[in-house]
Amino acid sequence: MGGTTMANWGYVAIDKTGKEIKGSRDADTQEALTRDLKQQGLIVLEVKQQNTLTRDINISFDKKPAARDLAVFCRQFASIVRAGVSIIEALNMLAEQTENKLLQKSLMAVRADVEKGESFADSMAKHPRAFPELLVQMARAGEASGSLEISMERMAIQFEKSAKTQALVKKAMIYPIVVACVAVGVVVVMLVFVIPRYTDMFEELDAELPAITLAVVGLSNFIKNYWFIIVPVVIAIAVAFHMWKKTLSGKHVLGKLALKFPMTKNLVIKSASSQMARTLSTLLTAGVPLTEAVDIVADTMGNIWYKEALKDALEQLLVGVPLSQPLQTCGLFPPMVYHMVRIGEEAGSTEEMLNRLADYYEEEVEMAVQSLMAAMEPMIIIILAGIVGILLAAVMLPMVNMYAALDNL
């Protein structure tokens, strides 16, 4: 009797020191190998069956944890620590259950460093791709004040609010992009497959074609004859744009466009105000000094103009200028922002005022997204109708002219 053939499995795991281990091993099933690895004290990240193409080739791309992943981590960490579980054991428990591979690896490395005597915050600071500076500073403030679980709970709320705002903004941006891609696809199909059929018919009839038809036919012929040049050029332009938008000049240009373009201006200003107020309030409530808090907030801002405005505000804070003044002079924040901050400074309740601002502008962001979607829908319909109308006119006008000529005979 022949024995059961074992499959070859590739695996990625983490040992107790936080070191990543990759390898392959024969096993009956994926579950059997996972069980064996866990018995060896390893935390299993991934197990996949190998074949002749994938064997000895192990390429993995670690995706940065999203705001929602970090929110779950912070909330669970706070709950576990509050229940009396040690930080080391809490990190071990969370590493086993988190789905994000980068966060999982980082948590095991943090656990190993904490076991060696390093602080929780300093250990997290070694993994900036997994743990944002904001989270590190909040953990440091929590450790210093003996209220780490409270700081982590506040960060859970911060990340949850951030995830909600990001989702709203993405919703507003994705809709027109999807519709535009569909429109481009329809136009290309029309130009490549539909228009040429009518072109052949018009040539056989030797009819005089209107200017709009000649333009559309010319575009169709150009795409058919030079597609092998057009495709690489379009890809090259897309890659060049992707690289350019990461440069300093690209960030400035795109950031300014977002602030000037009528349809996005309102959303950008309100989302930036919400983010600034929420993050700064969270840091100040945790006891982080104002100058450090403003520096951290500046680094979290997506639009470079807001980042530079807050960096400038930091320089003015260092020489004794109140925060409300540079927020007003930069011209980027609504009057309500710097007026509320000024009231908070005078009353000694800046954190409370910032928290109220954040709540207000989060609701404003939601309404701005709804307004933007309502404005874009008819505009997109009009544009699509215009494109389809041009293509139909290019096809129908020669036929109408031909029938009119026949009637005159």
- In CATH, what number is assigned to the domain containing residue 340? 1.20.81.30
The side-by-side arrangement of strands in the sheet containing 43-49 is 20-27, 7-14, 43-49
Asked whether residue 323 is domain-assigned, the answer is: yes
Indicate the length of the chain as a whole number.
Answer: 409
Say whether both 119 and 179 belong to one domain: no
Say whether both 113 and 172 belong to one domain: no
Q: What is the DSSP string of 49-68?
A: E--TTTTT-----PPPPPHH
Please report, to the nearest 10 degrees, the dihedral formed by the alpha carbons of residues 187, 192, 193, 194 taken in order. Answer: 60
| Pairwise CA distance, residues 205 & 208, whole Å | 9
For residue range 84-104, list pLDDT tens digits in order: 999 999 998 998 888 888 898
Say whether both 88 and 201 belong to one domain: no
The answer to whether residue 146 scores a pLDDT higher than 90 is no
Q: Tell me the two tokens of residue 53.
A: 């193409």
pLDDT band per the 50, 70, 90 thresholds, residue 407: low
Asked whether residue 58 is domain-assigned, the answer is: no
- Determine the distance from the C-alpha atom of residue 95 to the mean position of all C-alpha atoms in its chain, rounded to a whole number: 23
Say whether both 45 and 74 belong to one domain: no
The model scores a pTM over 0.75 = no
Give the model's pLDDT for residue 405: 66
| Pairwise CA distance, residues 37 & 31, whole Å | 10
pLDDT band per the 50, 70, 90 thresholds, residue 377: confident
| 331 DSSP 8-state letter | S
| Pairwise CA distance, residues 320 & 339, whole Å | 18
For residue range 365-374, list pLDDT tens digits in order: 888 888 888 8
| Pairwise CA distance, residues 73 & 16, whole Å | 20
For residue range 35-47, list pLDDT tens digits in order: 877 777 777 777 7
Work out the percent of the chain whose per-residue pLDDT is above 90: 34
Say whether both 103 and 171 belong to one domain: no
**Residue whose entry in the numeric block shows the structure tokens 């590493």:** 95
Say whether both 158 and 171 belong to one domain: no
Helices (H), 333-349: 335-347
Say whether both 394 and 272 belong to one domain: yes
Domain count, the chain: 3
| Pairwise CA distance, residues 144 & 128, whole Å | 21
Give the model's pLDDT for residue 259: 92
Asked whether residue 372 is domain-assigned, the answer is: yes
Where is mean pLDDT largest: 42-56, 103-117, 375-389?
103-117
Q: Tell me the two tokens of residue 333.
A: 């924040």
Say whether both 291 and 233 belong to one domain: yes
Say whether both 72 and 32 belong to one domain: no
Please report, to the nearest 10 degrees, the dihedral formed by the alpha carbons of residues 299, 301, 307, 313 taken in order. Answer: -80
Say whether both 188 and 115 belong to one domain: no
Asked whether residue 62 is domain-assigned, the answer is: no
Say whether both 136 and 13 belong to one domain: no
Give the model's pLDDT for residue 55: 45
Sign, CA dihedral 79-83-84-86, equals negative
Asked whether residue 2 is domain-assigned, the answer is: no
**Residue whose entry in the numeric block shows the structure tokens 């690896």:** 105
Asked whether residue 350 is domain-assigned, the answer is: yes
Sign, CA dihedral 152-154-159-164, equals positive
Averaged pLDDT, 275-299: 90
Full domain range(s) for residue 273: 167-409
Q: What is the DSSP string of 71-87?
A: HHHHHHHHHHHHTT--H
Region of poorest pLDDT, from 66-80, 194-208, 281-295: 194-208
- 3-state SS assignment for residue 343: helix
For residue range 212-236, list pLDDT tens digits in order: 888 888 888 888 889 899 999 999 9
Say whether both 288 and 352 belong to one domain: yes
Give the model's pLDDT for residue 2: 45
Asked whether residue 61 is domain-assigned, the answer is: no
Decide which of 123, 144, 162 is a domain's last residue. 162
